[in-house]
Amino acid sequence: MKGWRKDLADLQQAEAASRAEAEILAARRAKLDRLREQGIEPFPYEYDRVEPIADVRAAHEGLEADTQTEARHRVAGRLASRRDQGGMSFLDLYDRSGRIQLQATSDTLSADAFARLTELVDLGDLIGVDGRAFVSRRGELTLHIEDFEILAKALRPPPDKRHGLQDTEARYRYREVDLMANEESRRVFIARSHIIAAIRRTLDDDGFLEVETPTLQPLYGGAAAEPFVTQHNALDRTLYLRIAPELYLKRCLVGGLERVYEIGKNFRNEGLSPKHNPEFTSIEWYEAYAEYGRAADRTERVVRAAAEKAGYDFEAEGALRFDRPWRRLTFARAVEEATGINLLAHATDESLRDAVRANPKLTKKIPEFEQLNWPKLADELLGEFVEPGLIQPTFILDHPVELSPLAKRHRDIHGLTERWEAYAGGMEIANAFSELNDPDEQRARFEAQVRYSEGGDAEAQPYDEGFVRALEQGMPPAGGVGIGIDRLVMLLTGRATIRDVVLFPALREL
RNA sequence: GCCCCUCUAGCUCAAUUGGUUAGAGCAGUGGACUCUUAAUCCAAAGGUUGAAGGUUCGAUUCCUUCGGGGGGCACCA
């Protein structure tokens, strides 16, 4: 449906939906007005000396049912539910740390205040409370309200108190509502924050510097992907949103910063899927005088620290054992185990195609194999037959040189590079190499990419003379790693889709 | 881009497989209730069944198109 027809449909739908909803919104506005008439400001400026609810709970752990205390606490949060009972009312309040029951009685509060709390305060409003702790006859820690204040009136109702917000689209589109309604959602994003903090801390402690490099780049590079293209008006030039920070970070190594990392957004102009958001967060670090084996060791440590900080249970059934050394398997061996093809024994396009052609199981999964060159075909074999089975953390080592234009050649095996990709849960989560620092070879690799590009490969990497020039200044040998943070968070929080770990994922226009 | 599934009250779900006036809980509204916690009880209210068209005596139910969402394929990290 396009143009006016769609507009009309939307209008009719909005019209139909409005009546019942309008009543609900009007009721809340009426209460707002009544509060103001009573001289109560529904949007005050502050409410200080608030204690996290979890701390209040911790302070009274283990008290028996039907116990009074003299302890007074001040908490603030959102009202989740209310059970009125005439001259008394129980309410549930929650903040980021937890939930606590409140009790209001007309004995303690003035008649006005009690009526305000039970009649003019709605579910979803933010309130602050001073109360005395006691444990109810049913054994629930409760604050008996001695004073309260409305901290912000909610003019829209909160989601269903039993079911929360379940509509998937609404959860992404109105994430603030998802966060307030679904504790599980809050838990994921708190874990995400902890994961990033743990990564940062681990690298900081190991002498790395956090740096920031351009997101708007005159020339994109550092990965195989299509970029977003944008325009700078004053400079009157085309700029690209970066697809990776890699090349700039290596220039920092040239400059002598020695150990650098950057946590930030990359942008790739590709389709959406449960594993792909057009903007995603990565950590890349580069360590001078190290190579890819050291990079792997450090990756294990960083991910383990992140998992621990996120409270990941390594002992749970089906848990990913990030707490143990990861399996290490060469690219060639992985492919041979899965397909029976020895890549190194089939070193030409034709030879490898022959080997694939001979096995119907392979041709079925890769029907376009006749059009693929050796590196693309090798990559397909890995992607189709190896990757889905890599559940426990695994390093796949030593990729073909044609697939890895920024990696050093393998020191022992011709045609390969010193590179690894790390997999877990059937997804690639990290990529690393002994960084190519020979400017002449880098130039030749870029030239090869340009030839692929001319051959129709939209993702071949562009020639970056500025980067080669930087290498000509001398870059120390280095190990570099990139980790997809969103995917790591998915694994560590047990989410199946990237949209559950990105606060505001890309959505169709409403 | 292709294939499959889905859309019912503000929210979460029903409607005996095409049959009378589309029901319930929550939320909201009015009322009762001083240890409740999915509080309970009483009352009223809330709907163009995603939209448009078609088949039929009759459509929430079947068909077509369009729109939203979900899942899969392809591409990618």
Residue A295 CA to nucleotide B68 C1', Å?
46
For residues A414 and A401, what is the distance between their CA atoms, to the nearest angstrom? 9
Residue A347 CA to nucleotide B10 C1', Å?
64
Q: Which residue has its C-alpha nearest to nucleotide B66's C1'?
A: A1
Confirm whether any atom of chain B, the nucleic acid strand, is less than 7 Å from CB of A13.
Answer: yes
Per-residue tens of pLDDT for chain A, all 510 residues? 233 333 333 343 344 445 677 788 888 999 999 999 999 999 999 999 999 999 999 999 999 999 999 999 999 999 999 999 999 999 999 999 999 999 999 999 999 999 999 999 999 999 999 999 999 999 999 999 999 999 999 998 888 888 888 888 888 888 888 898 888 889 999 999 999 999 999 999 999 999 999 999 999 988 888 888 888 999 999 999 999 999 999 999 999 999 999 999 999 887 778 888 888 999 999 999 999 999 999 999 999 999 999 999 999 888 999 999 999 999 999 999 988 999 889 988 889 988 988 888 888 788 778 888 888 888 888 988 888 888 899 999 999 998 899 999 999 999 899 999 999 988 889 999 999 999 999 999 999 888 888 877 777 788 999 999 999 999 999 999 999 999 999 999 988 889 899 998 887 665
Residue A427 CA to nucleotide B70 C1', Å?
21
CB–CB of A448/A402 below 8 Å? yes
**CATH homologous superfamily of domain A185-326+392-500?**
Bira Bifunctional Protein; Domain 2 (3.30.930.10)
Predicted confidence at residue A3, as pLDDT, reads: 33
CATH architecture observed for domain A53-152: Beta Barrel (2.40)
Predicted confidence at residue A509, as pLDDT, reads: 61
Q: Which of residues 150-179 of A touch strand B (CB under 7 A)?
A: 157, 159-163, 165-170, 172
C-alpha count within 13 angstroms, C-beta hemisphere, residue A348:
3
Predicted confidence at residue A16, as pLDDT, reads: 40
Chain centroid to CA A164: how far? 22
Residue A115 CA to nucleotide B31 C1', Å?
15
ipTM: 0.86
Residue A20 CA to nucleotide B28 C1', Å?
9
Residue A248 CA to nucleotide B5 C1', Å?
46
Element at A93 (helix H, strand E): strand A88-95
Is residue A382 helix, strand or coil? helix
CB–CB of A392/A425 below 8 Å? no
For residues A488 and A491, what is the distance between their CA atoms, to the nearest angstrom? 5
Residue type, A391: I
Residue A64 CA to nucleotide B34 C1', Å?
22
Left, alpha or beta for A198 (phi > 0: left; psi -120 to 50: alpha)?
alpha
Q: Which of residues 448-467 of A touch strand B (CB under 7 A)?
A: 459
Instruction: For chain A, give percent helix, strand, coil, nearest 5.
Output: 40, 25, 35
Confirm whether any atom of chain B, the nucleic acid strand, is less than 7 Å from CB of A139.
Answer: yes
Q: Which of residues 383-412 of A touch strand B (CB under 7 A)?
A: none
CB–CB of A339/A385 below 8 Å? yes
Domain ranges in chain A?
A: 53-152, 185-326+392-500
Confirm whether any atom of chain B, the nucleic acid strand, is less than 7 Å from CB of A428.
Answer: yes
Which residues on adjacent β-strands are paired with residue A431? A421, A482
Predicted confidence at residue A15, as pLDDT, reads: 43
CA A80-A82-A87 angle, 5° bins: 155
Give the Å distances, CA to CA, from A496 to A85, A86, A142, A169. 43, 46, 37, 16
